[in-house]
Structure 1
Amino acid sequence: MATEPPLRRGNLLPPRALAIAWSLLVLIAVLAWVLTVGQARHMGVEPGTMGMALPLFLLLWLLMMAAMMLPSVAPVAVTWARGIGRQSTGVARAARTTAFVAGYLLVWTAFGLLAYGALAATGDLVRDHPGAGRWIAFTAFLLAGLQQLGPLKNVCLRHCRSPMGQLMRYAQFRRRARDFRVGAHHGLYCVGCCWGLMVILVPLGVMNIAAMAGVAAVIFIEKLWRLGPWFSTAVGVVFLVLAGLAPFQDGLLPGLQAPEDPMPMDMDMDMH
């Protein structure tokens, strides 16, 4: 097996290359946010998949994940870019970093398949039984709270906060598709860490910009703030409180309230 220790001093990227890597990831995240906000303004907040077919939903989901997740994954991607080292050209480093990000986002796109199924099921249930939305919201917040406080969250959050050991282990793997595999592996840990936060988008609305921004902020703080684990626990407690309130507070489930049918044109004319 080819070895390439990721953090030997002679292989570290120069400051200019690191700045370029950071700038590229930030630019992608900003562009994804702009496109997501623009799309959300035309779609509103509705139950279910909002009439989207699976391919369109996955495309939009990928855009959302790029907007929400790249700010917090950027330090890991840049750390891996540092390990790529000076032996690679600028184009090669960019290609390998791109492969890392592609592997990461592919895992979240696969998770989007589960999200699509969950949204389709809850949307159908709410349309047939509007009162069920409150209990779906209760379940979603309860799951999110338990996940935030559970052992899997702690394991995955530790990896996301300190991924160096895994990156060094992957440096021993064969070079073929290694960068893609590293990104996908980190993406799996990230899904394990954050799936509960994504579940709350069911009651709050998958295209609710405020909810997406809030989730992105929680993810960023959990992974990068020195008190992130404590913050994660506090968020879990908040979710459990919201679970208790959800059956009685319609304001906590905008994404599970079926839109009112528009008034027929002839009825509107008769009323006038």
Structure 2
Amino acid sequence: MKTTAALEPRHVSITSLVLAAAAILAWVVTISWVRASDMGAMPGTMGMGLLSFVVMWGLMMAAMMLPSVAPFVLSYRATLVDHRAARLTALALGYLLIWSAVGVLAYVVADWFGALASDRPNAAQGVAVATFALVGLFQLTPLKFRCLSHCRSPLGHLLHYLGFTGRFRDVRAGASHGWFCLGCCWALMLLMIAFGVMNVGAMVGLAAVIAIEKLWRHGETFARVVGVACLVFAVVVLFEPGLAPGLDPDGVNPMQNMGM
């Protein structure tokens, strides 16, 4: 028993290191992809097909979300008594499966945003304003804080997950947590499309916002501050549409020059 207890902190730190390494690898691959494509903050899907977009989106989600999901993974790990590595891998796969599936919807929205920026610039500016306003309002709703509470304090939900049985029980647990995480962060991901899907600066900024909301003890207050900031930003975009590159008509011209 003493030996097991002594090794426990090491196991926890190894799990944390694996999550950190996976997130770092996802960041490296994502940024390399952005540089290789030379696209950056542009409207729409930037000429990518559905499969390429979903793969890229999955990498982005791994980079942005894995650090903030660490408390849940560590809590879940404490309930496992065997095959921990395999079961934690299944848990992570279930979680990322939800966010990767969202990539299909993100593709449709990004494609629509890009077409709007190209064909109806005035309408695109209005949609940009509405997008930031929608995000700001959602950040202040009870649904946001219900889902955020789940992500911040997952211990109360572990008993439910422990009731899952069968070969895919860990995948189900990861997917279930992913749904709550999606409920908490879907609006912030909408900002990712408004800023331009491959906008590295926006990725880093939103990843920081998500981590602070979930990990900081004042995370709920911070979420409200972000909501108010988005409402202010919605007004600013009325005068500076370029602040929402994913809906900026001027961002279409470089794509057209590249034959896209």
Q: TM-score normalised to the size of structure 1?
A: 0.87
Select the residue among 26, 32, 36 that pairs with 1:32. 26
Find the aligned partners of 1:250 and 1:156 in 2 and give their Cα distance.
Answer: 31
Tell me whether 1:21 sits opposite 2:12 in the alignment: no
Identify if the C-alpha distance between structure 1 residues 72 and 261 changes in structure 2 by more than 3 Å, giving closer, same or farther: closer
Q: Determine the C-alpha separation between the residues in 2 that align with 1:202 and 1:226.
A: 28
Query: CA, structure 1 residues 175+64, in 2 after alignment: closer, same or farther (shift >3 Å)?
Result: same
User: Match of 2:237?
Assistant: 246
Distance in 1 separating the partners of 2:30 and 2:202 = 13
1:79 aligns with 2:75: yes
Q: Tell me whether 1:183 sits opposite 2:179 in the alignment.
A: no
Structure 2: how far apart are the matches of 1:213 and 1:27?
16
Whole-Å Cα distance in 2 between the matches of residues 255 and 126 of structure 1? 8
1:224 matched to 2:215? yes
- In the TM superposition, 1:75-154 aligns within 5 A as 75-85=71-81, 88=82, 92-154=83-145
CA gap of 1:125–1:12, structure 2 versus 1, over 3 A, is farther
Counterpart Cα distance in 2 of 1:160 and 1:12: 29
Indicate if the aligned counterparts of 2:23 and 2:67 stay in contact, CA closer than 8 A: yes
Q: 159, 163, 182: which is aligned to 2:150?
A: 159
Q: Percent identity?
A: 50
Distance 1:172 1:202, change over 3 A: closer
Alpha-carbon distance in structure 2 between the residues aligned to 1:211 and 1:125? 21
- CA–CA separation in structure 1 for the residues paired with 2:48 and 2:122: 24
Runs of 4+ residues over 3 Å off in structure 1: 10-13, 261-264
Mapped contact 2:30–2:60 kept (Cα < 8 A): yes
CA drift of 1:263 comes to 10
CA distance in 2, matches of 1:235, 1:66: 22
Query: What is residue 61 of structure 2 aligned with on the other side?
Result: 65
Q: Secondary structure at the match of 1:21?
A: helix
- 1:213 matched to which residue of 2? 204
Secondary structure of 1:29's partner? helix
User: Match of 1:260?
Assistant: 253
Contact 1:203/1:252 (8 A) holds in 2: no
Report the Cα distance in structure 2 between the residues aligned to 1:212 and 1:221, rounded to whole angstroms. Answer: 14
Question: What corresponds to 1:45 in structure 2?
Answer: 41
User: Higher mean Cα deviation, 13-22 or 114-123?
Assistant: 13-22
Provide the rounded CA distance (Å) in 2 between the counterparts of 1:262 and 1:253: 16
TM-score by length of 2: 0.91
> Residues 77 and 117 of structure 1: is their aligned pair in 2 closer, same or farther, counting only changes over 3 Å?
same
User: d(CA) in 2 for partners of 1:150 and 1:256?
Assistant: 26
Corresponding residue number in structure 1 for 2:189: 198
Letter of the 2:241 partner, please give it: D
1:13 to partner: Cα distance: 7.2
> How many aligned positions are there?
250
Q: Which amino acid aligns with 2:92?
A: V
- The answer on whether the counterparts of 1:62 and 1:108 sit within 8 Å (CA) in structure 2 is yes
Task: Give 1:45 deviation, angstroms.
Answer: 1.8
